[in-house]
Amino acid sequence: MTPQYQALVQALKSLPGLGYRSAEKVALHLIVENPKASTGLVDCLTQAAEALGPCHTCGNLAENQLCSLCASEERDSSQLCIVEGVTDLFAMERAGIFRGLYHVLHGKLAPVRGVGPENLNLTSLENRLEDGKVKEVILALGNDMEGEATCHYLNQEIFGKREIQVTRIGFGLPSGGGVTYADEVTLRSALDGRKSM
């Protein structure tokens, strides 16, 4: 195997969800089976990297400083749903069950892996709460140990000093599961079954 091929496989393997065999499969597809696809992929990646970035308000994927959800006047700005990642936000939107606004943390507290509060999107969250428009915060984080720790931290350190109703989805999500892979019915049950913290 050539060094260039090994470098490509290692680069692909660093992507989420790709192990060595999957990375090898993609590399061979792009180089041997369909070399024209690699040109289109490189162009798409370059354009996306130049055009897309995080929304300055919520952390969602955006083409400008604001994502389409934050810019919409039809969303309920009194409700704020906190999610771990953009894929969780996409799952909630696909389900069509929430009409409020979102805030993407870009992770969960995980001291063992060196992820502390300073690594999460919390500064913009606190800024959003300053104007008093948010009346309810819905914590839509997985019910694993890191999700629990993150919810506890948010409730104590950020929401505890404000007059905000804090609820948490939980009914319907399997233990150790997250929002991204839940179906619409499960998400609706989880959102409807949220409880005060």
Can you tell me the mean pLDDT for 25-40? 88
Q: What's the CA gap between 166 and 137, in Å, rounded?
A: 5
Cβ contacts of residue 17 below 8 Å, gap of 6+? none
User: What is the tens place of the pLDDT at every residue in 142-166?
Assistant: 878 898 899 999 999 999 889 999 9
Report the CATH fold assignment for 3-51. Helicase, Ruva Protein; domain 3 (1.10.8)
Long-range contacts of 160-163 (CB under 8 A, 24+ apart): 162/129
Q: What's the CA gap between 67 and 59, in Å, rounded?
A: 8
Q: For 74-196, give the CATH class.
A: alpha beta
Which of helix, strand or coil describes residue 79?
strand
Using pLDDT thresholds of 50, 70 and 90, give the confidence band for residue 170. low
**For residues 143 and 67, which has the higher predicted lDDT (pLDDT)?**
67
The pTM of this model reads 0.80
The chain-wide mean pLDDT, for the chain, equals: 90
Do the bridges between strand 165-168 and strand 195-196 make them parallel or antiparallel, or are there none, so unpaired?
A: antiparallel
Q: What's the CA gap between 152 and 141, in Å, rounded?
A: 11
Do 74-196 and 3-51 fall under one CATH topology?
A: no
Residue 10 has pLDDT above 70, yes or no: yes
What was the pLDDT predicted at 173? 66
102 φ, ψ to 5°? -120, 165
**Structural element, H or E, at residue 8:** helix 3-13
Residue 171 has pLDDT above 70, yes or no: no
What residue segments make up the domains of the chain, in order of their start? 3-51, 74-196
**For residues 145 and 80, which has the higher predicted lDDT (pLDDT)?**
80
Which of helix, strand or coil describes residue 168?
strand
Long-range contacts of 43-51 (CB under 8 A, 24+ apart): none
